[in-house]
Structure 1
């Protein structure tokens, strides 16, 4: 009987990548730990790509879903009123800081970004979109088009006309002070608008912290600087909060708040459902209402997903997990920086809250080393720690544990990570 890996390869696309030389099947989980099919336990520092925000087997979420299941109604569609959908939308609109906000629910971050692009291009009657270099916004046609990372672009064809800006590539301009870099980026935006675009650009879509890009981020305030320039032209700002929302960065509830600005729209997904599929857009009411044709979402915001999401959001707020993310994140990032200073393979350590990363570099040349990153990924798994990988060159290790992480688990995880890094020196 063929094993699960060979069966996977036989029926799944070759471009659906798997971690590890011997990929694992996760069969159970509780708290911040999971167990594979061989009975091996792991401390999860990647949370299903930042999606299991509260961890695993959370009673409050499970009970909310079970209550809805007992009604017999798993699905109705947006053609009917859904109480949990309305209540969740009210909560998100209030938390967004966007004036007169309205919410549309989808099934994923990709769908959310597609919707936001539709809103902006319709409002501005333009197919021109600005995005950041090294960005990632999803795997659909338009989401891929505005992605600024070649490793994740399958086609040069595009439904939108995209121009890329600087922002998260601060390290390439180390000779500049922070203010000089901000001034440089602002001037570059003006040059792009003056030379590369026609009139009536629709929007800028930006991740406050780039997820797949390796948790790189624009310096605080840059997106606010961009917004002031965009406002001169009526260009909209969309903040992609699929990975940065819900307090994960610790300092702020939404990643965009680090830039001192309120966007016209925000997209969200991943952690909100704690594993249940849900995403969406929250935007100014006039922007959301301006679409001229009918629209529905068959599965978006369904009763099960919204019940799970509301329970997740309530738990997050009641337990002040944002404050926990801030405290534990600062501790772990500081400890990791101290350890990496002693390691020849360690590059930049960066991050905010429970969203942090370390680059792996060749000890001789200092060049990005995806091979070393892959080795550390394996060493961490061998020691019982699950982490992620990313970055422009695939040389970045990404850590984003559940926001329910305890102090003991935080110290354990950093210890295992440092041991894994040391093992490849």
Structure 2
């Protein structure tokens, strides 16, 4: 084992063959499992999780950026247990104190004036709701989205996803137009300075809008999550906003992965592009529930209240998930986890860049705060290498570290630990990842 954290080299743990067979027999073939020999996670504490064989792992993916504060955070588990002991479910047909309490806090934090909050059960549903609101408000089904983007798995969310690997159908209720800008270091503008890059992307947007009419909204992730933690230069969306405002087009900021201080420098990802103020709509999910199913939309009242038909949510705003979200948000703010993400994330990205400097399979280490992407290529090439990513993910798991994948062809590592990550854990994780990267490079170059 490595520092007591993981299974022995050459003997990776796996879920029982029986459980894997049962999984295959009743669940869809397209339901992805990580690792050649998938693991069954049974419990967690802090920044660590354990599998069914008792192996401990340092968790640098947090259930896809969802375990925001820590595994088994006492404040959250206590809030869930106490609320469950009172009442589990009511629906939005009844007044709910936990829902109003959390909505008030999120509305204040959003920066959106006269904000209204609608709770959902996931980020997909949050984005679906935002698209519904924007198209109803603007009376148009035309949407601008970013290339390489991902916004969820529903029919409408897939229809605005600019990443072919996560868009299983070309059918859509929306007419989507894709804009340049989400990937800074690839594409036709990659060689430009930041200022020239922004100017070129704005010119592309202007040209696109000159060939259409009545666009409802732009939906964009400030940092593209599934896209491999890519981001434009700060200020791009502020520049876009000037164009959008002239046309009356709404801006939806998809904060499902970037919200709650994960990027360190800002509480919301949109704040890196705040030249013209907050977005018209903001979507959130994942981290706020710390594992509970919480998502939602924040919008100014004029937009949120535009629906003319009845609409409720059976499970959005559940008393139990609202209690969890409120306890989790309180902990995050009282312990300055945004500041911790900035400090510890800055150290982690420095360590990873130092490692990458001597490796031919690492094209780029990018990100901010505790949202870090490592793009991998074939040795001596600039071609994305999903093979390299698979090798690194497996090698890291063997050494006691869990990381995710994403990006073009699945060739980027996604590093996103809980925001309470300590300096010692960051150093340990960087060391394990360095070993895994070196092992993968040796395997690729020797073969």
**What's the TM-score bracket when you normalise by the shorter of the two chains?**
over 0.9
Residue correspondence of structure 1 range 235-314 to structure 2 within 5 A: 235-260=249-274, 261-314=277-330
- Provide the residue aligned with 1:132 in structure 2: 146
TM value normalised by structure 2: 0.93
Partner of 1:330: 346
Q: Any idea what the Cα deviations from partners look like across 1:112-145, whole Å, max 9, x if unmatched?
A: 0000001100110000000000000000000000
Q: In structure 2, how many angstroms separate the alpha carbons of the residues matched to 1:90 and 1:147? A: 31
Select which of 393, 406, 418 maps to 2:434: 418
Shift of 1:2: 5.6
Matched, 1:17 2:32: yes
Deviations 1:21-68 (A, max 9, x none): 100000011110000001100000000000011121111001101111
Taking structure 1 as the reference length, what is the TM-score of the superposition? 0.98
1:233 equivalent in alignment to 2:247 = yes
- Counting matched residue pairs gives 422
- Deviant stretches of 4+, over 4 Å: none
Q: Is the 8 A contact 2:159 2:170 kept in 1?
A: yes
Aligned to 1:54: 69
Q: What's the RMSD between the two structures over aligned residues?
A: 0.9
**Partner of residue 388 from structure 2, selected from 368, 372, 381:** 372
2:44 to 29, 33, 43: 29
5+ long unaligned stretches in structure 1: none
Q: Are the counterparts in 1 of residues 384 and 408 from structure 2 also a CA contact under 8 Å?
A: no
Work out whether residues 182 and 230 of structure 2, in 8 Å CA contact, stay in contact via their aligned partners in 1. yes
Q: Describe the SS at the equivalent of 1:131.
A: strand
Name the SS for the 1:210 alignment partner.
coil
Q: Distance in 2 between matches of 1:80 and 1:50?
A: 31
Structure-to-structure mapping, 1:336-375, within 5 angstroms: 336-375=352-391
Q: Structure 1 residue 392: deviation in Å?
A: 1.7
**In 2, Cα distance between equivalents of 1:161 and 1:189:** 16
What's the secondary structure of 1:301's corresponding residue?
coil
Name the structure 1 match of 2:12: none
In 2, Cα distance between the equivalents of 1:56 and 1:316?
Answer: 13
Cα distance in 2 for partners of 1:399, 1:3 equals 31
Aligned to 1:141: 155
Partner of 1:41: 56
Aligned to 2:410: 394
Determine helix, strand or coil for the equivalent of 1:43: strand
Distance 1:383 1:54 in 2: 24
Query: What do the CA deviations read for 1:346-392 (whole angstroms, capped 9, x no partner)?
Result: 11100010000111111132311100100000000000000000002
CA distance in structure 2 between the aligned counterparts of 1:65 and 1:402, rounded to whole angstroms: 19
